[in-house]
Amino acid sequence: MYWHCSPDGKLFRFDYDYYQEAEGWMKLHHIPATWKDARLRCFREGTVLASAENAHMWAAMKSVFKNSQATVPCGIFTGTHATYSKGDFYSIGGIPLSRMPVTWAPGEPDNADNSEDCLLMLPNGTLADVNCSDVYPYVCYRKKQINMPVLNDCGTVDNEYALDCRTGSCYKFHPEPQVWGSAFATCSGEGGHLAIINSATEAQVLKELYAKHPANSMPGNFIKHVVHIGHSEWGDHGLWMTIHGQTLKEAGYNVWATGQPDNSSNQFCGAMFTNGQLDDVWCDRACPFICEKKPDSLLTDDEL
Q: Would you say 279 and 271 are in contact if contact means Cβ atoms under 8 Å apart?
A: yes
> C-alpha angle 174/177/178, rounded to 5°?
100
pTM above 0.95, yes or no: no
- Helix axis angle for 180-189 and 35-44, nearest 10°, is 50
Average pLDDT score over residue span 128-148: 91
Query: 42 or 70: whose pLDDT is higher?
Result: 42
* Residue 5: predicted pLDDT: 38
Query: Which residue blocks in the chain are alpha helix, DSSP H?
Result: 35-44, 55-66, 180-189, 200-211, 248-251
Same fold flag, 4-143 and 162-293? yes
Backbone angles phi, psi at 42, to 5 degrees: -60, -45
pLDDT digits (tens, 9 = 90+) for 226-267: 999 999 997 767 789 999 999 999 999 999 999 999 876 788
Residue 156's contacts (CB-CB under 8 Å, 6 or more residues apart) are 1, 2, 3, 170, 190, 191, 293
Q: Is it the case that residue 130 has pLDDT exceeding 90?
A: yes
Q: Is it the case that residue 3 has pLDDT exceeding 70?
A: no
Residue 141's contacts (CB-CB under 8 Å, 6 or more residues apart) are 22, 24, 25, 26, 42, 47, 48, 49, 50, 57, 79
Q: Is it the case that residue 134 has pLDDT exceeding 70?
A: yes
* Residue 211: predicted pLDDT: 95
pLDDT band at 304 (very low <50, low <70, confident <90, very high): low
Looking at the domain 162-293, which fold is it? Mannose-Binding Protein A; Chain A (3.10.100)
| Calpha distance 79→132 (Å, rounded) | 11
- Residue ranges covered by each domain of the chain: 4-143, 162-293
| Calpha distance 298→196 (Å, rounded) | 18
Query: 109 or 145: whose pLDDT is higher?
Result: 109
Residue 253: exposure state from Cβ atoms within 10 A (0-12, 13-18, ≥19)? buried
Q: Is it the case that residue 10 has pLDDT exceeding 90?
A: no
Secondary structure letter of residue 71 according to DSSP: T
Query: 102 or 4: whose pLDDT is higher?
Result: 102
* Residue 2: predicted pLDDT: 35
| Calpha distance 7→17 (Å, rounded) | 10
* Residue 64: predicted pLDDT: 87
Average pLDDT score over residue span 43-64: 93
Domain 4-143, CATH 3.10.100.10 — does that match? yes
Q: Is it the case that residue 4 has pLDDT exceeding 70?
A: no
Q: Is it the case that residue 202 has pLDDT exceeding 90?
A: yes
What string of DSSP letters covers 228-252? Answer: EEEEEE-SSTT-EEETTS-BHHHHT
pLDDT digits (tens, 9 = 90+) for 77-96: 999 999 999 999 999 999 99
- CB-based contacts of 87-96 (< 8 A; 24+ apart in sequence): 87/111, 89/119, 91/51, 91/53, 92/39, 92/48, 92/49, 92/51, 93/48, 93/51, 93/53, 95/51, 95/53
pLDDT digits (tens, 9 = 90+) for 270-299: 999 999 999 999 999 999 999 999 998 866
Specify the amino acid at residue 73: P
Average pLDDT score over residue span 51-59: 95
* Residue 61: predicted pLDDT: 92
Average pLDDT score over residue span 34-54: 95
What value does the mean pLDDT of the chain take? 89
Q: Is it the case that residue 11 has pLDDT exceeding 70?
A: no
